[in-house]
A and B are shown apart, each in its own frame.
Chain A
């Protein structure tokens, strides 16, 4: 079945440093979504990428979808303590599986002030 791998598992940064998490799928995706889960909370939708090579920005967050639609990345510039949490990518295969998401393992981000 479809597998989504995400690295790194943990990332500790000093406030102001940049952060990147990477996501790789074993199969070509229809779309990929990114979620953030704060400690003790539930996942919150950040963004969806659909097109090959797509790049989207949300303030300090930059999301990329690879040309082959099998990998993606999330980059945060100049991290802040409010960025703390677990970032998950989630891929959708589309077709009859449309809407069904396979989550990566998540990257736990810690930001030291």
Chain B
């Protein structure tokens, strides 16, 4: 099946620093990648949709200058949390799609900002 990886799986950073999370589709080319945020025992909240070579589309309420998304190739998208604060601590999950509907999720990245 289609495999999506995320790196790092866990990261702890100090308040004010930036953190980059990578999302890779390992065995397929993803036309679209999605970035979600999930709080403990809660649902997935879509942050942004990214297509290779174009600017990401952010959901309402998501600060594009804070959550920078780059989709440089059909197999790689990155999310950079800039000037992270404790309230940015969360589980960030990416997904990739290459067929019409099915999304393949990465294992997620747990970010803790101290």
Q: In angstroms, how far is the closest chain A Cβ from the Cβ of B55?
A: 15
Residue of A48, A88, A100 near B102 (CB, 8 A) is A48
Beyond A1-B60, A43-B93, A108-B41, is A102–B101 a contact (Cβ under 8 Å)? Answer: no
* Chain A interfacial residues counted at CB < 8 A: 22
Beyond A1-B60, A48-B102, A99-B97, is A42–B107 a contact (Cβ under 8 Å)? Answer: yes
Instruction: Convert B73-114 into 0s and 1s, putting 1 for each residue whose CB lies closer than 8 angstroms to a CB of A.
Output: 000000000000000000001010100111111111000000
Interface residues of A in 87-113 (CB under 8 A from B): 88, 92, 98-106, 108
Residues of B within 8 A of A99 (CB): 32, 49, 97, 100-101, 103
How many pairs of A and B residues are in contact by the CB < 8 Å rule? Answer: 49
Quick check: B34 and A100 within 8 Å, CB to CB? yes
Beyond A1-B60, A42-B107, A42-B108, is A103–B101 a contact (Cβ under 8 Å)? Answer: no
The contact sample of 29 A-B pairs, CB cut-off 8 A, is A31-B101, A33-B101, A33-B102, A33-B103, A35-B105, A41-B107, A42-B93, A42-B107, A42-B108, A43-B44, A43-B95, A45-B102, A45-B103, A48-B101, A48-B102, A99-B32, A99-B101, A100-B49, A101-B34, A101-B103, A103-B43, A103-B44, A103-B45, A103-B46, A105-B42, A105-B43, A106-B42, A106-B43, A108-B41
Give B107's nearest chain A residue, CB to CB. Answer: A42
Residue of B43, B100, B104 near A88 (CB, 8 A) is B43
Interface of A is mostly: strand
Instruction: Convert A34-46 into 0s and 1s, putting 1 for each residue whose CB lies closer than 8 angstroms to a CB of B.
Output: 0100000111110
Give A102's nearest chain B residue, CB to CB. Answer: B46
A109 to B100, CA, bound (A): 29
Query: Counting chain A CB atoms within 10 Å of each CB, which of B93, B101, B107 scores highest?
Result: B101
Residues of B within 8 A of A43 (CB): 44, 93, 95, 105
Residues of A within 8 A of B49 (CB): 99-100
Beyond A1-B60, A43-B93, A108-B41, is A100–B101 a contact (Cβ under 8 Å)? Answer: no
A102 to B97, CA, bound (A): 15
